[in-house]
Amino acid sequence: MAVSAVLGGVLVLSACNGGGDQPKGSGQASAKSQADVDAAAAKDASKARIAITPKDGATNIGLNDATSVTVSDGTLTKVELKSSEGADVPGKIAADGKSWKPDAALKRSTKYALSASAKDEAGHEAHENASFTTVSPENSFIGSFVPDEGQTVGVGMPVSITFNKPIKDQKAVQAAINVSSSSGQEVVGHWFDAQRLDFRPEQYWQANSTVTLKLALDGVQGAPGIKGVQSKTVTFKIGRSQVSTVDAKTKKMTVTRDGQVIKTIPISAGSPSNPTYNGQMVISEKFKETRMDGATVGFKNGEGKGEYDIKDVPHAMRLSTSGTFIHGNYWGSDSIFGNVNTSHGCVGLNDTQGANDPNTAGAWFFDNSLIGDVVTVVNSPDKTIKPDNGLNGWNMSWAEWKAGSAS
């Protein structure tokens, strides 16, 4: 039994080592043969080294600049990027064959597979693969901004960005945004709250200059677990300089363009019980005709309905978020303009119903105004409008403005 046990152990040991009935020395020959195979494989291996960004298995990846392929000691021959639905993402290999990037932004909450091939100088091929998932809407933020690309605006138009989620790391987000002017004016950002960031120079933009907004937010962490996804450059033009001054006491508006008074217009501002805000207000929207319902801005009668509801207000231009407009007025008698303040806080200009008479004061001012032009109200018994009520940051001193910057 002891002999059997020993022999059994030998047999088991021999079987585990793969010796079997091979002749003595066959194990060394086998090892030598494997070494030859490894050497041959190493000899044929490509020297090209492919690097894929992001790494395989990565999540919460940005949509614009987070995906790329590079190669060292070789050139790329083929790169394919596909979504989990099988859609191809177009891209181009650089002229020197050393890098690749997609041509378009990726989609949110999507899994992608990337495969890349390259060759070294000897023609030996190398291959790399990776898969990753882009950031979800829940884990990302975007900023809506004005003005738009290619727009021509007035000298008072700030760059205003509203984020769809509260920003905790305001310094990081502001550092990824640049606003510059061809005029060379210093431009500074100001946070009104966790979701609104405006940029402006100390004085109005110089007329006929060009302003460029660069958003490099892709991958920037705005709050824990929340990243930006935008990578965009926007350019807009500043037109001629037009600033109009409404004097609520004299009931006249003086329109100044490029330093010269071009027109004086009789107006009717807010009544003594509902005066117009004082301050510098920027035209943010223009409507040839629009409805104005007092109930939407707090002017209600005893039945809960609006004190006024005019469905076809002509030549209306918004001056505040809270409902201040400069607009045409056809329902008031001609005698009020220049003589009596009768409105609920807006600035009224003589006009006709239908907004189709180009000879009225309302039509003239509408046709000669740009979004971004400034309307300054003085000598009203009301307070100065708040800087964040519309695009009206000009009512803040430069020192106060800079104090709200996170840079």
Per-residue pLDDT for 38 more than 80?
Answer: no
Q: What is the per-residue pLDDT across 64-73, written as a single tens digit (0 to 9) for each?
A: 989 999 999 9
Output the pLDDT for position 352: 97
Active site residue 315: no
Residues 142 and 126 in one domain: no
Kindly state the average pLDDT of the residues 178-189: 98
Strand ranges across the sheet with 252-257: 260-266, 252-257, 242-247, 374-378, 279-282
Q: Which helix (H) or strand (E) holds 82?
A: strand 75-83
In a domain, 18, yes or no: no
Q: Is the per-residue pLDDT at 142 higher than 80? A: yes
Answering whether pTM is above 0.75, one says: yes
CATH number at residue 384: 2.40.440.10
Residues 247 and 348 in one domain: yes
259 and 382 fall within a common domain: yes
Does residue 148 fall inside a structural domain? yes
Q: Do 126 and 234 lie in a common domain? A: no
pLDDT value for 251: 98
Helix (H) or strand (E) holding 52, with range, is strand 49-53
Predicted local distance difference test score (pLDDT) of residue 5: 39
Q: Domain boundary at 135, 154, 172, which?
A: 135
Percent of the chain whose predicted confidence (pLDDT) is above 70: 86
Local confidence band at 9 (pLDDT 50, 70, 90 cut-offs): very low
Q: Are 66 and 192 contained in the same domain? A: no
For residues 286 and 364, membership in a common domain is answered with yes
Given the residues 190, 315, 327, 344, select the one marked as catalytic.
Answer: 327
The predicted structure's pLDDT at residue 36: 58
Do 250 and 378 lie in one domain? The reply is yes
Arithmetic mean of pLDDT over the chain: 89
Structure tokens of 359? 């000879």
Residue 12 has pLDDT above 80, yes or no: no
Identify whether the C-beta of residue 370 lies closer than 8 Å to the C-beta of residue 152: yes
Query: Is there a single domain that holds both residue 162 and residue 128?
Result: no
Number of domains in the chain: 3
Q: Which domain CATH number covers 221?
A: 2.60.40.3710
Q: Is 32 a residue whose pLDDT tops 80? A: no
Give the separation between CA 287 and CA 310, rounded to whole angstroms. Answer: 14
Asked if the bond preceding 102 is cis, omega within 30° of 0, the reply is no
Query: 328-367 burial by CB neighbour count: b if 16+ within 10 A, else e?
Result: bbbeeeeebbbeebbbbbbbbbbbbeebeeeebbbbbbbe
Q: Report the distance separating Cα 311 and Cα 63, nearest Å.
A: 44
Distance of alpha carbon 325 from alpha carbon 221, whole angstroms: 38
> Could you tell me if residue 100 is inside a domain?
yes
**In the prediction, which pLDDT does 309 show?**
78
Residue 189 lies in a domain: yes
Residue at which a domain ends, from 69, 104, 135: 135
Q: What is the band of 11 on the pLDDT scale with cuts at 50, 70, 90?
A: very low
> Buried (b) or exposed (e) across 74-95, using 16+ Cβ within 10 A?
bebbebebeeeeeeebebebee
Cis before 224 (ω within 30): no
Most confident of 24-28, 300-304, 306-310, 398-402: 398-402
Residues 265, 385 within the same domain: yes
Short-list 95, 97, 96, 100, CA closest to 114: 100
User: Do strands 325-329 and 347-350 pair parallel, antiparallel, or not at all (unpaired)?
Assistant: parallel
Q: What is the pLDDT of residues 261-275, one digit of tens each?
A: 999 999 999 999 999
Domain assignment of residue 30, yes or no: no
Question: So what's the pLDDT on residue 294?
Answer: 62
The set of residues, in sequence order, having a beta carbon less than 8 Å from that of 120 and lying 6+ positions away, is: 46, 47, 48, 73, 74, 126
Q: Do residues 340 and 376 share a domain?
A: yes
Parallel, antiparallel or unpaired: strands 140-141 and 226-228 = parallel
pLDDT of 296: 62
Quick check: 16 pLDDT over 60? no
**16 annotated active-site:** no
pLDDT, position 127: 95
Q: How confident is the model at residue 8 (pLDDT cuts 50, 70, 90)?
A: very low
Closest CA to 261 of 244, 281, 247, 278: 244
**Is 53 inside any structural domain?**
yes
pLDDT in tens, 236-255: 999 999 999 999 999 999 99
Q: Which of 190, 315, 344, 346 is catalytic?
A: 346
Does one domain contain both 298 and 381? yes
Percent of the chain whose pLDDT exceeds 90: 82
In this predicted structure, the answer to whether residue 3 has a pLDDT above a threshold of 50 is: no
The answer as to whether 292 is a domain residue is yes
Closest CA to 268 of 384, 386, 351: 351
CB proximity list for 235: less than 8 A, separation 6 or greater: 149, 150, 210, 211, 212, 213
Domain span at residue 344?
242-391
pLDDT for 37 beyond 60: no
Q: How confident is the model over 23-46, as a mean pLDDT? A: 58
Question: The CATH number of the domain where 57 resides is what?
Answer: 2.60.40.3780
List pLDDT tens digits, range 205-240.
999 999 999 999 999 999 999 999 999 999 999 999
At residue 126 the predicted structure's pLDDT band, cuts being 50, 70 and 90, is: very high
Is 406 part of a structural domain of the chain? no
Distance CA 131, CA 133 (A): 7
List, in sequence order, every beta strand (DSSP E) within 103-241.
Answer: 111-119, 125-133, 140-141, 143-146, 152-153, 159-163, 177-181, 187-193, 196-201, 210-216, 221-223, 226-228, 231-238
Q: Look at residue 357 in the predicted model and tell me its pLDDT.
A: 97
pLDDT at 303: 60
Among 8-17, 248-257, 380-389, which is the least confidently predicted range? 8-17
Domain identity same for 296 and 331: yes
Last residue of a domain, one of 192, 213, 239: 239
- pLDDT tens across 56-65, in order? 999 999 999 8
